[in-house]
Structure 1
Amino acid sequence: MDVNNVIEAGLDAPHPVVAKVDLLGMDRAAMEAYFTQIGEKPFRASQVMKWIHQFGVSEFDEMTNLSKALRDKLKQLAWVRTPKIVAEQYSEDGTIKWLLEVDNHNSIETVFIPEKNRGTLCISSQVGCALECTFCSTGQQGFNRNLENWEIIAQMWVANKALGCKPKEERRISNVVFMGMGEPLLNVTHTFPVARILMDDYAYGLSKRRVTISTAGVVPAIDKIKDEVDVSLAISLHAPNNALRDVLVPINQKYPLEVLMPSLYRYVEGGHSKKHVTIEYVMLDGVNDRIEHAHELAILLGDLPCKVNMIPFNPFPNSDYKRSSNNAIHRFKDILEAAGLQVTVRKTRGEDIDAACGQLAGKVADRTKRTLHRVHFEPRPLT
């Protein structure tokens, strides 16, 4: 049934059959198109976006600069869905983790990391993950489905409300990273619109440099970022050669380093100023932290504009990996810096509440038993 036919028939008509439209997950272009469709001026989109994202309002009756007639119309035709907070945990270091229920069988985790000069929110893009990176707890939990627009942006909405953020005040959440559960570039249909909402001045107004998409290396989607959202990019590299990366990050079997690395150079060409790639490298004792690995990595990265983010491994149940020693980490760092690379050793945050990098698990009803929805990798001979 056409929305306009429902309106013309009268909002009080008995039991109009029309599915309510979710507004939380709409970027401005989509919301402007929606208001035009229901016979309203497109500028209503910016008004509603401000109410939802800046004031944290989910009830149309509270949107006081909208006419009563429009509020009544929206109550009939639309809604602002928000997830249920199942649990909220606080770390001794100030990190906060929320467990959010997105349906009757699945929950996702979102983490806020406060620092001296910024606050970072780590959000999820999928329920579980199909990539099976062997050092990541999420990858061992199975995969259920992609998150929809509203389920992804709702994490920012919930965190803002929980932290008491208000418009025109200094942001407590200054950075957002798609580094939670899931591979965001296997869900670009929903990830990209959410990135646009995060950067919209009528929503959260974050700059492109403060929104980061982290990927294990989905090359076709990397090539779309610059044209569609132009946000910052982080690569979960974790190995300096194909043989090792095939094991640690299995998607490398489909997009090996000789395919991935050129895509990173294409990404940094043009786009927003001072563009670089963040290289994520988890430090695994005796696996990828040897002197020869550091030299290989330095050669691999070459003159790519990048920053290397070394991540001490964060253990999780039933993992066979161990964290590299401090000596190994510093030796590795010294070699990279001697090669002219900019390197940071990430400080582990939220480990006492399982909120550290690689520890997010949530609650995943793995309906596929880790086979049907697994990303298909074409094996290739190692060289």
Structure 2
Amino acid sequence: EELSAFIERLGLKPYRTEQITNWIYRKYAVSFDEMTNLSKDTRERLKEAAVISNMTLLKTLESKDGTQKFLFELEDGELIESVLIPDNERLTLCISSQAGCAMSCGFCLTGSSGFRRNLKSYEIIDQVISVMRIIRDTTIAKTEKSGHHITNIVLMGMGEPLNNFDEVVSALWTITDLMKFSKRRITLSTSGIIPRIRSLAETGLGVNLAISLNATTDETRSKIMPVNNKYPLKELLKACRQFPLPPRSRITFEYVLIAGFNDSEDDAFRLVNLLKGIKSKVNLIMRTVEGRLYGKIILTKKNVLRKMQVL
């Protein structure tokens, strides 16, 4: 609607809206000059009135498994990260919703940097478009079945998405409506902002929900996630039970295993009881984690396997 109104103000024909949408959101154009099915006069009018957002890629890091981390610089100099994770069937893009984060989770390095600002909806969208350009223009980051396309998007990067609710929701509508990305393949991860979980359900977006849980008691969770002091486990899980799920969908519960803190057999059994009545799956995060409160975390294979057996 915004683009249609913009096109009308420029005195262009309504059908130009779909043409421009196709160039920006499906062909990932970086300039109006690429839009060869528009007349030169139309392209000049567009250039005088608008710019196509294009973040600056500062650095790319690649791990042994092919995962790539992209460091982007925004117009005001803020830095954000996006991560591309390939496997045989999927190419998952993890995007940020804020520059920095205010949640101060004890196991997360982003939280230690503090909160700087919310991202605008176009900056959230631009991460997807920028990475799609990288995939299109290089030989990297292609998987056996996904080919040249991102198959999944997860909002698990920098920031708490539900603390930037309006901009995130606006971005997701654009990604699903204009970029034609399946809402079933988008997952929003939250530390547990209960009122906004309910608001997300009311939007009708229909994206998947993930909860960063990481503990099975309020006492333990509050030590590593201050948000739990305001939104305790009982109320959080009640909101999860009330969250509308499409057929065959489940809520993902993310659980960073911290040796000697939340990785006991008792924790595993408590987790099972906590999630009763919720269509769910648990993502045990077993890699070494650097965190402000707990330093380097080393897990024993025995404890990890036992927790998996209990679940």
Q: What TM-score, normalized to structure 1? A: 0.74
Query: Using the alignment, how far apart are the partners of 2:9 and 2:309 within structure 1?
Result: 59
Indicate the percent of aligned positions where both proteins have the same amino acid.
37
Match of residue 70 from structure 1: 42
Match of residue 51 from structure 1: 23
Cα RMSD after superposing both structures: 2.0
Structure number with higher relative contact order (C-alpha < 8 Å, ≥ 6 residues apart)? 1
Say whether the 8 Å CA contact 1:118–1:172 is kept in structure 2.
no
Count of equivalent residues: 302
Residues 1:292 and 2:269 aligned together: no
Counterpart selection for 1:226 from 197, 201, 211: 201
Deviation of 1:170 after TM superposition, in Å, equals 4.4
SS at match of 1:163: helix
Match of residue 274 from structure 1: 248
Say whether the 8 Å CA contact 1:60–1:74 is kept in structure 2.
yes
Say whether the 8 Å CA contact 1:131–1:249 is kept in structure 2.
yes
Match of residue 158 from structure 2: 181
Say whether the 8 Å CA contact 1:312–1:323 is kept in structure 2.
no
Match of residue 130 from structure 2: 158
Once the two structures are overlaid, the 10-residue window that deviates more, 234-243 or 96-105, is: 96-105
Aligned partner of 1:260: which letter? L
Match of residue 34 from structure 1: 6
Counterpart selection for 1:327 from 293, 302, 310: 302
Query: Using the alignment, how far apart are the partners of 2:163 and 2:75 within structure 1?
Result: 20
Aligned partner of 2:6: which letter? Y
**Ranges in structure 2 where 5+ consecutive residues have no aligned partner:** 139-145
Residues 1:94 and 2:66 aligned together: yes
Deviation of 1:37 after TM superposition, in Å, equals 4.2
Match of residue 194 from structure 1: 171
Q: Deviations over 1:36-78 (max 9, x none)?
A: 4444454433321210122121211221222333322211111
SS at match of 2:290: coil
Aligned partner of 1:293: which letter? D
Match of residue 130 from structure 1: 102
Query: Using the alignment, how far apart are the partners of 1:224 and 1:40 within structure 2?
Result: 37
Match of residue 181 from structure 2: 206
Deviation of 1:113 after TM superposition, in Å, equals 0.6
Query: Using the alignment, how far apart are the partners of 1:266 and 1:38 within structure 2?
Result: 46
Query: Using the alignment, how far apart are the partners of 1:121 and 1:319 within structure 2?
Result: 28
Larger gyration radius, structure 1 or structure 2: 1
Residues 1:303 and 2:277 aligned together: yes
Residues 1:236 and 2:212 aligned together: yes
Deviation of 1:209 after TM superposition, in Å, equals 1.4
Query: Using the alignment, how far apart are the partners of 1:313 and 1:335 within structure 2?
Result: 20
Aligned partner of 1:213: which letter? L
Say whether the 8 Å CA contact 1:33–1:42 is kept in structure 2.
no
Query: Using the alignment, how far apart are the partners of 2:276 and 2:263 within structure 1?
Result: 19
Match of residue 350 from structure 1: none
- CA change 1:257–1:165 in 2 (3 A) is farther
Aligned partner of 2:182: which letter? S
Q: What TM-score, normalized to structure 2? A: 0.91
Match of residue 83 from structure 2: 111
SS at match of 2:243: helix
Query: Using the alignment, how far apart are the partners of 2:234 and 2:201 within structure 1?
Result: 20
